Amino acid sequence: MPTITVDGEDYEVEAGQNLLSICLSRGIDLPYFCWHPAMGSVGACRQCAVIEYEDDEDQQGRLVMSCMTEARDGARYSVDAQTAREFRGGIIENLMINHPHDCPVCEEGGECHLQDMTEMTGHTLRRYRGPKRTHRNQYLGPFINHEMNRCIACYRCTRFYRDYAGGTDLEALGRNNQIYFGRREDGRLLSGFSGNLVEVCPTGVFTDKTFSRHYVRKWDQQMAPSVCEHCGVGCNTAPAARQPGSPGDPWLRRVTNLYKRDINGYFLCDRGRFGYEYANSPARLTQVMERDNIELIGSSSGGGALSHRQIAPADGVEAFARHLEDHGTGKHLLLGVGSPRSSLENNFALRTLTGAEQFYAGVSAVDLQLLQLVNSIQCDERIRSATTPEVEQADAILILGEDIDNTAARIALAVRQAAQNQRRRQAEKLKIPDWQDAALRQLPAAPVPIVFAGCEIPALADCCSDHVIGTPDALVSFGEAVLEAIGASRGGTDQGDTLTDTGDSPLSRDYLQLARDTARALVDAERPLVISGCGAQHPGLLRTAGLIATALAEERDEPVNTYLSCPEVNSLGLLQILSSADQHLERAGSIMADARKRGIPVTLVVLENDLFRRLPQNQAQEILSSADTVIALDHLLNDTTRRAHLVFPTAATPEYQGTVINSSGRAQRHYCVYEGIGFIQESWRWLADAISASNLHSDTADLVRSWQHSDDVSAALAEALPVFAEIRRLMVSLRDNFNVARQSHRASGRTAISAERRVAEEPPPEDTDAPLSFTMEGVHDPAKTTLQAVIRAPGWTSNQSIHKYLQGLNGLRVERGAPTLLQRPQKPVPRWQSVELHACGNATNGSTTSGRLLAVPLHRLLGSGELSSSAEGIASAIEPPFAKLHPTDAAQRGIHHGEQLVLNLGETRRQLHARVDFEISPGVVGLPCGFPELADITVRLPVAVHIKPVTASDHTAGGDEP
Amino acid sequence: MISQLRSMWLVFRHLFTPRVTVEYPDEKPYLAPRYRGRIVLTRDPGGEERCVACNLCAVACPPDCISLQKAEDENGRWYPGYFRINFSRCIMCGLCEEACPTYAIQLTPDFEMCEYDRQNMVYEKEDLLINGPGKYHHYSFYHVAGKAVGGKDKGAAENEERPVDIRGLNL
């Protein structure tokens, strides 16, 4: 290990690192702007200058940019030298010349890297009195606010947006002193990672517009570690809350990234960052409601919707308890429907309440089958689930059928970094360090083999070496060809090129060749990766991906990294709780119908689930109407809660403590950031309250009654199901009054914020679940515990201070132990036959017969998420529902781009905007998955549909069906 | 003995010195303009609220008795949606005035704020806002800061060039 001397102190450092990252990770404060731990160095801002001495005799030294200087063994440096300090002071003075003196009205103020660095450099007095250069701002959409005057031209925004995240619509325009970072014209930033600009920009040029609507300074924010609830990746977030001081303000103010090396690192996608607003949505449930007996007039009842009235929570719990008692006497059938977007604790509480046999997954048969496939593939010992850094290091990637840009966006961002790996290898040969970002990106290198196979050309296409666009069936055939080619290379001889066309293959010669090339690339790679998932809603694709990964592992004689994306935050966790493989919604429906036939009354408890997003409308309606009583627990007023007889308001993810399992089988805790308003409480608490209020006496009822804390439920879960044995490790018990403060040490307004209602201060709420306090009293140091989500350090108010709490550059957070994983028994995947691969959940294979097209789901980052669609900002950015089809298919049917078309699926008929585009495969029509207006259709996909242009009669018949 | 006589003499002499105290409340003492009494929110010379809801007063406040919420009008001007001072906690230290970057919050020479009910010591923005600039007559924050607001465009603040035309040659 090389040793260097900085200001007389000796440091042992890792070889090949630059001086800036060494200094920062050793706790030496050195100002910088353009450097970013994930993006490397470009030496643009000149702020991190230090003195390098030639040898021991050298007293003068010379100025070098520490971010561009590789630490030499035995070298002597000085950060503190007068020359270096003066130089850095001059630089910041220059950078500040045009800075607009508007910190008080800047959202970045109080967590601003520029403020920190100005302080650190000691630039306290402005000497320049000349005129300042000004810029006009642009409208950048509902998420990002633009204030160009504040720019110091460090280029971090375009380096992140273009180089790191692959965006194209943010550029450095203009020249010299007038440089301008923006779009060519006003409009929404189109990249799904635009929100990261807020954290990447060291000044206030890009700020969070949704946050600005209910802005609070960082020192006033109450934070706790949380997990993003909008997809299965499980990114760590730090939601920020503040007590509302006047009636209109919400509790939850924003979401920022919380560094977690193995999952999200420094970045979040826009759905995760801006989706939080659903918790503040006007549709939020805050009261216990009971069915009212007013008959709704036909047009507003919307097929079974009931009107509700508020009741006292105790009455609601009492009514719930009565239903449980009936069930206890055997006169009643009690069914529970769980939820993949709720925590393990909530689902387990419902399972305990209803009994394992009567607990159903809140997903359809196909979705459950997909989850089981993911699970069984991950349980194969030849398969490893890749962490995000492992995805970034992959040198050959096959993405089969999963549009990860939209279903697991953070993983797509990691794949983008993997696309640079050939360059990194090339740089290593040329002895260029990998943090030399500008040099690295200019190196000519062969593309990294990243092959995407899907129905639509993805946003990721620009960093893929090849892509295959086809119907799901063709994609399976492509996968099979890859599989066959891997098998052929196993034969000992390299026969990849000599494979002959059998003639009856559905693939073109080009695709067959590509399949062979892909197979060879995967076999030859050092770190191959197979990515697939549930997004295509096609079990065959998942099976094919599983077979390819296992064949590859056989070939390489070591486990192969895979990433299988699950649709929701706790999909994989819900699956483990089920008692058998067929506990899906359709079965729940048939059991209920059966009971009804036999005259047994049915009570259905729906936990945080909208059945209308899981099943076609008529099936969902049938399930709800065949229950005599529907008891729903949820965050938002949706189609299911509208039809429930009893509705309980439940805590959203930032409002309670729970455990969720991400797509890689990793268990993570999210903590309560603030207590929900009104009568909101955790679902498991409502269920436990109902049991406590009932006169039931059994072992399970007594167990539920004994639950006081969230950890009691977790412990019972770990006890009951060995697969969750490890989650005990997530329980942080209170020791020696060890409390972590949710508020910063300088939270303000404590004696005024609620003084309007009552001048005497009320005691803060107590958290009975976690060793965190709702006040500023407690541990503040993020180095002491990972429960501390307010990331700051003396002199470092912004999130950039995270480097103080990591074990080395981009390392694990200090104190973070090994990941908590599901303890699943290992079992090899079955050898699926070709027929099973082509079998698709819903559709017939002859998709294009009799003029029909195969409708496939197209996921969209903004719009496909259930909860995030209710967020104000995201809702305004969701595209109008469309049907996307290939020009040849459109021409055959006389459909033109931009016009309306009619889509017929069984009895359902919809008018949609036609989007005619070469991006989509012929033979399919893509429908935006999970969009509020289309959710009940897209759950059935892929399925064959009839498409025709709108005729005059359609206009008279009206548009959408109710 | 001598010391006792001297003390008596001194006390006797004080009978004839002028009084320092006044007959309050019949007679009001003189309080300097910079006396630290009741807090007000002032307006800029244009008559607009000076407070930009930056929260610096709240964070400077030792007894944490100031609370406010940022709001923004359609032209980008920040103002406090609500502004609350709990005078029953206020120690009249003046740190809020020192922290204020816009001269919005000022302490005044008025201390007569007794109430029978402590709840009445909670002042809202309506109670705090006065119709004038207070001690600082000419300062207007938005004429110095580079943010555009209604009535002041980009480049119109003090010492600012006209906005750059990014489509121009910019020679």
CATH number at residue B113: 3.30.70.3270
pLDDT at A960: 45
Give the pairing type, strands A853-858 and A924-928. parallel
- If phi > 0 it is left, if psi is from -120 to 50 it is alpha, else beta; for residue A629 that is beta
Tell me the pLDDT tens digit for each residue of B87-100.
999 999 999 999 99
Contact A350, A338 (CB under 8 A): yes
Residues 63-102 of B with CB under 8 A from A: 63-70, 72, 78, 81-82, 84-86, 88-89, 101-102
Give the pairing type, strands B39-41 and B105-107. antiparallel
| CA atoms of A491 and A523, how far apart (whole Å) | 13
Q: Which residues of A188-212 are buried (b: 16+ CB within 10 A; e: fewer)?
A: bbebbbbbbbbbbbbbbbbbbbbbe
Nearest to A194 by CA among A178, A180, A210, A179: A210
Report residues of chain A scoring pLDDT below 70: 294-304, 328-330, 490-506, 733-737, 815-816, 840-850, 952-962
Q: Please give the interface size between A and B, counted as residue pairs whose CB atoms are below 8 Å apart.
A: 151
A212 reaches B (C-beta below 8 A): yes
Q: pLDDT band at residue B51, thresholds of 50, 70 and 90? A: very high
Q: For residue B82, give the 3-state DSSP assignment.
A: strand
Q: What is the mean pLDDT of chain B?
A: 93
Contact A61, A83 (CB under 8 A): yes
Minimal C-alpha gap between B131 and chain A (Å): 22
Tell whether B22 is covered by a domain. no
Helices marked H in A864-913: 872-877, 887-893
pLDDT at A308: 87
For the domain A369-568, what is the CATH code?
3.40.228.10
For the domain A842-957, what is the CATH code?
2.40.40.20
| CA atoms of A174 and A369, how far apart (whole Å) | 54
pLDDT at A328: 64
Distance of CA A14 to the CA centre of its chain: 33
Residues 218-237 of A with CB under 8 A from B: 219-220
Q: Is B149 exposed, middle or buried (0-12, 13-18, 19+ CB in 10 A)?
A: buried
B62 reaches A (C-beta below 8 A): no
Report which secondary-structure segment, H or E, holds A617: helix A617-626
pTM: 0.93
Tell whether B15 is covered by a domain. no
B128 reaches A (C-beta below 8 A): no
A745 reaches B (C-beta below 8 A): no
Range of the domain at B56: 33-142
- Nearest-by-Cβ selection for A109 from B54, B84, B102: B54
Look at domain A289-293+308-364+584-659+679-730 and name its CATH class.
alpha beta
Helices (H) and strands (E) in chain A, counts: 31, 38
For the domain A3-95, what is the CATH code?
3.10.20.740
| Number of domains chain B is built from | 1
Contact B122 A129 (CB under 8 A): no
Give the CB-side neighbour count of residue A590, counting CA atoms within 13 A: 7
Tell whether B103 is covered by a domain. yes
| CA atoms of A773 and A740, how far apart (whole Å) | 6
Contact A245 B82 (CB under 8 A): yes
Instruction: Mark the binding-site residues of B for [4Fe-4S] cluster, compressed into ranges.
Output: 51, 54, 57, 61, 90, 93, 96, 100
SS (H, E, C) A189-206: CCCCCHHHHHHHCCCCCE
- Nearest-by-Cβ selection for B144 from A101, A109, A219: A101
Contact A134 B88 (CB under 8 A): no
Secondary structure percentages of chain A, helix, strand, coil, to 5 = 35, 20, 45
**Nearest residue of chain B to residue A759 (CA atoms):** B119
Residues 87-126 of A with CB under 8 A from B: 99-106, 109-110
Contact A180 B59 (CB under 8 A): no
Contact A752 B82 (CB under 8 A): no
Contact A438, A420 (CB under 8 A): no
Nearest to A534 by CA among A713, A776, A371: A371
List CB contacts (< 8 A) between A175 and chain B. Answer: 170
Contact A752 B170 (CB under 8 A): no
Q: How far apart are the first and last CA of chain B?
A: 95
B159 reaches A (C-beta below 8 A): yes
pLDDT at A497: 47
Nearest to A713 by CA among A287, A342, A259, A341: A342
Tell me the pLDDT tens digit for each residue of A208-256.
999 999 999 999 999 999 999 999 999 999 999 999 999 889 999 999 9
Instruction: Give residue A214's identity as a one-letter amino acid code.
Output: H
pLDDT at A953: 63
Q: Is A605 exposed, middle or buried (0-12, 13-18, 19+ CB in 10 A)?
A: buried
Contact A759 B52 (CB under 8 A): no
Contact A770, A709 (CB under 8 A): no
Q: Report domain extents, chain A.
A: 3-95, 130-280, 289-293+308-364+584-659+679-730, 369-568, 842-957
pLDDT at B29: 87
CB within 8 A of A69, min separation 6: which ones? A18, A19, A50, A52
| CA atoms of A411 and A450, how far apart (whole Å) | 14
Nearest to A476 by CA among A838, A821, A138: A838
A490 reaches B (C-beta below 8 A): no
Tell whether B136 is covered by a domain. yes
SS (H, E, C) A918-957: CCECCCEEEEECCCCCCHHHHCCCCEEEEEEECCHHHHHH
Contact B69 A216 (CB under 8 A): yes
CA angle A426-A430-A433, nearest 5°?
Answer: 85
Question: How distant, in Å, are the alpha carbons of A290, A309, A678 from that of A312?
Answer: 10, 10, 11
CB within 8 A of A15, min separation 6: which ones? A1, A2, A73
CB within 8 A of A18, min separation 6: which ones? A41, A66, A67, A68, A69, A70, A71, A433, A435
Nearest to A954 by CA among A910, A914, A893: A910
Give the pairing type, strands A3-6 and A76-78. parallel
pLDDT at B171: 59
Give the CB-side neighbour count of residue B5, counting CA atoms within 13 A: 2
Helices (H) and strands (E) in chain B, counts: 4, 6
Tell whether B162 is covered by a domain. no
| CA atoms of A461 and A454, how far apart (whole Å) | 11
List CB contacts (< 8 A) between A100 and chain B. Answer: 145-147, 157
Tell whether B149 is covered by a domain. no
B115 reaches A (C-beta below 8 A): no
